[in-house]
Amino acid sequence: MSYVRPRTILCRLVCSFTLTLGLLGLLAACVSTPDQTEWIRIGVTTKDDVIARYGQPDLLMAAPGGDTALYHPTGSRASVPRLEIPTAQVGPFGAPTTRMQSIDPGLGAKEMDKRGNVFLRKELRIRYDTRGVVQGLSSP
Q: What is the pLDDT of residue 104?
A: 62
Separation CA 33–CA 19 (nearest Å): 25
Q: In 10 A of CB 54, how many CB atoms? A: 21
Q: In 10 A of CB 36, how many CB atoms? A: 19
| Cβ neighbours for 127, distance < 8 A, ≥ 6 positions apart | 66, 67, 68, 134, 135, 136, 137, 138
pLDDT-wise least confident of 31-35, 56-60, 70-74, 109-113: 31-35
Q: What percent of the chain has pLDDT over 90?
A: 18
Say which residue, 104 or 44, is predicted with more confidence.
Answer: 44
Local structure of 96: helix, strand or coil: strand
Query: Whole-model pTM?
Result: 0.49
Q: What is the pLDDT of residue 109?
A: 57
In the chain, domain spans? 1-31, 34-77+105-138
Q: What is the pLDDT of residue 33?
A: 44
Please determine, for residue 77, whether its predicted confidence score (pLDDT) is greater than 50: no
